[in-house]
Amino acid sequence: MAVKLSELTKQRELLTGGHRLCAGCGASVAVRQVLHAVPKDTSVVTCCPTGCLEVSTTIYPYNAWRTGFIHSAFENAASTMSGVETAYRALKKKGKVSGDFRFVVFGGDGGTYDIGFQALSGMLERGHRVLYVCYNNEAYMNTGIQRSGATQLGTWTTTSPYGEQSFGKGQNRKDLTAIAAAHNIPYVGQAAVHNWRDTFTKAGKALQAEGAAFLNILAPCHRGWRYPMEKTIEISKMATEVCIWPLYEVENGKWRLTYRVRNKKPVRDYLKMQGRFAHLFRPENEGVIEQLQEFTDRQWESLLERCGEKA
């Protein structure tokens, strides 16, 4: 999808300014990039489970959304939108609804990887024409920075603290993008907020897909990750350069890298930029960095193989 930045800046924003999200929040960047890809003359209905995005954009009596908007419970956003999409198809078949609609869910990693996973899997398996977007900040940030299935090994959170008996989270993250692809849906993409063109292109493909689509977008959180708020885009880019968050898509079963890292940097370059990993640089925890590096290398090599790329 060819697009010029100058054209995007002239579009009407479907998520307005003036919301209560933190300055430097990656979630609002992800939402704007996705909604810019909505086709012209197309209406859009959005749904958010409870989370940072929802509570900060819908504080009664205010609403930052210029779309149809539904707030659902933490665990059932995918089910909610499945019902809406089904009702739309039924009403359109009866001639009671005209026009073209798209349906988009924006959920955090807690409501996507964990609490809402069952509903998400059902939506993907049934093939509803819904785009589910996970704005992934790797923890339950809205409720106090608790670990989620998206949290990286060794990360400090309030439920995976470090100390004499702990080095932070003891498990590697769940690979939800690959899990979504295993549902054999038309489109799956992994993106990050620093590469707006890549995210916009993937959102365009996902919105045009004839069936369910899933986007997993890295959306750094300076409050939970412990870095200066102006560094969000830099942090996002570094995650890709160390291959801890590669950019790729799975379109009709075909895996493809959308950004080829030419000079792969060590994971420690990414970790040292964030306070949530500061404890890993203590002598007793250096082995955790090595474990995370090994996991990242294995995941990267597996992805290259799936995409038909040479290591």
Rounded to whole angstroms, the Cα distance separating 81 from 45 reads 9
pLDDT for 10: 79
| CATH H-level superfamily of 5-306 | Thiamin diphosphate (ThDP)-binding fold, Pyr/PP domains (3.40.50.970)
pLDDT for 140: 98
Length of the chain: 311
Residue 4: phi and psi, rounded to 5, are: -105, 140
Q: Is 95 left (phi over 0), alpha (psi -120 to 50) or beta?
A: left
Q: Which residues of the chain have pLDDT under 50?
A: none
pLDDT for 2: 64
- Determine contact, residues 92/61, Cβ cutoff 8 Å: no
pTM of the model: 0.97
SS3 62: coil
pLDDT for 150: 98
Residue partners of 287: CB distance under 8 A and separation at least 6: none
Rounded to whole angstroms, the Cα distance separating 193 from 7 reads 19
The domain ranges of the chain are: 5-306
pLDDT for 7: 78
pLDDT for 1: 58
Q: How many CB atoms lie within 10 A of CB 291?
A: 14
Integer CA distances (angstroms), 145 to 21, 123, 137, 156, 222, in order = 15, 28, 10, 9, 11
pLDDT for 100: 96
pLDDT tens for each residue of 5-52: 777 777 889 999 999 999 999 999 999 999 999 998 999 999 999 999
